[in-house]
Amino acid sequence: MKSLFKRNILKYGLTLGSAALLLSACGGEESASESGAATEGEDGRTTLEFWSFWGSGSRRDAIEDIISDYNESQEEVTVEYVYQPWGDIWTKSLAAIAGGNAPDVIVQDINSVKQRAEANQATNIQEYLDEDDISENFYPQLWDTVLYEDEAYALPFNTDTQVLFYNKTAFEEAGLDPEDPPSTWAELEEAARALDQGSGDNWEQIGFYPRWNLGADIWALNADNGVSWFNEEGDIRINTPEKVEALEWMLEWQDYYGRDTINQYEAEFGSGVSDPFISGLVAMRGQNINYYTNLLENAPDDFEYGVAPLPEKEEGSGHWSWGGGFVLEIPGNTEHPEESYDFMKYLSSTEVQEQFGMNSFDIMANTEANENLQSHPELDEMGHRIYELADANLDVTTITPVPLNAPDFSSLVNAEIDAAFLGEKSAEEALNDAQEAVENLAE
């Protein structure tokens, strides 16, 4: 009995013990070979860790080329690229900042720079800009997003803007001029009616529906002179007459096609696998200009399409659009902000921006890079057209940074807009209630 007992202790003890040993062995090795923050390498170079979500494909290849060029161009710093999954990268960076082992440079969402600046999650880089002001290199509204209390906390990297994609073949079949896309809401409606095929529950082609791929917020902003739910001064502008009108206009579209039709389409295409535009079921759609890459990769070779600015509410009201993008940021409390800034500056330089844009078809934050890409010898005609349109569109593109006093206001507004689309409230009631709810939150 006693020996049995001993043997068992020994057996389980050994299993557990060896497991622990093995673990600490591989653990020790790993923690020696790396750590979150920057370190001095053997060659006396400082190692910087750079996080982004470009995990595979052309973006990853492009950024790796760019980084290895940088590492070869100087002898002070070695940049190490680490891929982190899209979206989750920011959860991880938040934990890392709290734990004190954040990366040296990270690609962040453009809309929440102020929020992170306020919470010390981003490092103030104003001193480097005071030495060499490069703010002029970027589109002005992008630059505005990186300022918190008039000091800079990030450098814009790339951006995007919403435009209208339309099927040229469908235009021709409907007797419309494929070179003259609709320019106002009225023309848009007219074109859609010409493109519509079907009725009631049964549609073979839908000309246009405003709320697919674009939120109600974008049309509200389009109607209201580019002013979003919050204006630049931070005032709440939800129930303006223009926005009420925009919501009424969207409700008319829903009534026209019928809620069942809309729901059916959203159920079938909402997951983003099948593409109704490429499949010819939808003839026009408002969409992020990045959608160009999807068309390039996934559309049949004979698929003919055009791009145009979003139609304006009425002539002269402006083709206002909405955009987003990403910035380069130094997380709070890192050891080498100066070296990190130098690398960020390199990434935002015209040459590098051009190289990244050419490989990814991203719209870059650097104005000169986009201008160069409009006539870049390695891009085709459509590529030139995309950069041309993007560059022009950015003059009327609003970026909507998260308001500091109500960062999570959008679920309040969305719920009211949903109520309007469900027929529970009129457009005006819905937006009035939303205005009130957000005012309460912002207090």
**Residues 248-287 close enough to bind other proteins by CB under 8 A:** 259-260, 263-264, 266-276, 278-279, 281
3-state secondary structure of 228: coil
Using CB under 8 A as the binding rule, whether residue 443 contacts other proteins is answered as: yes
Cβ neighbours for 174, distance < 8 A, ≥ 6 positions apart: 191, 194, 195, 283
Beta strands in 218-369, from DSSP E residues, in sequence order: 284-288, 305-309, 321-323, 325-329, 363-364
Instruction: Return the residue of 59, 114, 319, 345 that touches other proteins, per CB under 8 A.
Output: 59
Please tell me the number of Cα atoms within 13 Å of 380 on its side-chain side.
3
CB of 85 to other proteins, least distance (A): 4
CB of residue 158 to other proteins, shortest distance in Å: 10
Q: If binding is defined by CB under 8 A, does position 78 make contact with other proteins?
A: no
Is position 418 an interface residue for other proteins (rule: CB under 8 A)?
yes
Angle between the N-to-C axes of helices 216-223 and 241-257, in degrees from 0 to 180, rounded to the nearest 10: 130
- Does 14 bind other proteins (CB under 8 A)? Our answer is no
Question: Which residues between 110 and 129 bind other proteins (CB under 8 A)?
Answer: 115, 118-121
Cα–Cα distances in Å, from 238 out to 404, 420, 439? 17, 14, 10
Give the 3-state secondary structure of residue 87: coil
- Binding to other proteins (CB under 8 A) within 288-307 occurs at 288, 290-291, 293-294, 297-300
228-236, 342-350, 380-388, 418-426 -> range binding other proteins (CB under 8 A): 418-426
Per-residue CA distances from 376 to 116, 131, 152, 359, 387 (Å) = 36, 32, 31, 12, 10
Decide: is 55 part of the binding site for other proteins (CB under 8 A).
yes
64 part of the interface to other proteins, by CB under 8 A? no
Q: Does 53 bind other proteins (CB under 8 A)?
A: yes
Give the count of residues interacting with other proteins (CB under 8 A).
93
Binding to other proteins (CB under 8 A) within 327-356 occurs at: 332
Q: Does residue 368 belong to the site contacting other proteins (CB under 8 A)?
A: no
Residue 18 binds other proteins (CB under 8 A)? no
Binding to other proteins (CB under 8 A) within 381-400 occurs at none
Closest to 59 measured CA to CA, from 81, 79, 80, 77: 81
Q: Does 186 bind other proteins (CB under 8 A)?
A: no
Rounded to the nearest angstrom, the gap between the alpha carbon of residue 189 and the centroid of all alpha carbons in its chain is 28
Exactly one of 39, 65, 83, 392 binds other proteins (CB under 8 A); that residue is 83
DSSP summary character for residue 282: B
Of 58 and 225, the one with the shorter C-beta distance to other proteins is: 58
201, 204, 302, 381: residue in contact with other proteins (rule CB under 8 A)? 201
Sole binder of other proteins in the list 88, 130, 133, 335 (CB under 8 A): 88
Looking at beta carbons only, is 27 or 241 nearer to other proteins? 27
Nearer to other proteins, 97 or 188 (CB): 97
CA distance 69 to 362: 20
Are the C-beta atoms of residues 248 and 210 closer than 8 Å to each other? no
200 or 377, CB closer to other proteins?
Answer: 200
Which residue do the tokens 């002029």 mark? 136
**d(Cα 160, Cα 150) in Å, to the nearest integer?**
24
| Residue from 134, 147, 308, 441 in contact with other proteins (CB under 8 A) | 441
Of 149, 44, 50, 63, nearest to 107 by C-alpha is: 50
Q: Which two tokens stand for residue 9?
A: 């202790």
Stretch that binds other proteins, among 8-16, 39-47, 161-169, 313-321 (CB under 8 A): 8-16
DSSP sequence for 354-381: HHHHHHH-PEESBHHHHHHHTT-TTS-H
Determine which residue in the list 110, 176, 244, 437 makes contact with other proteins, applying CB under 8 A. 437
* Site for other proteins contains 23 (CB under 8 A): yes
CA–CA distance, 416 with 421 (Å, rounded to integer): 9
Contact call for residue 5 and other proteins (CB under 8 A)? yes
365: nearest Cα among 130, 161, 192: 161
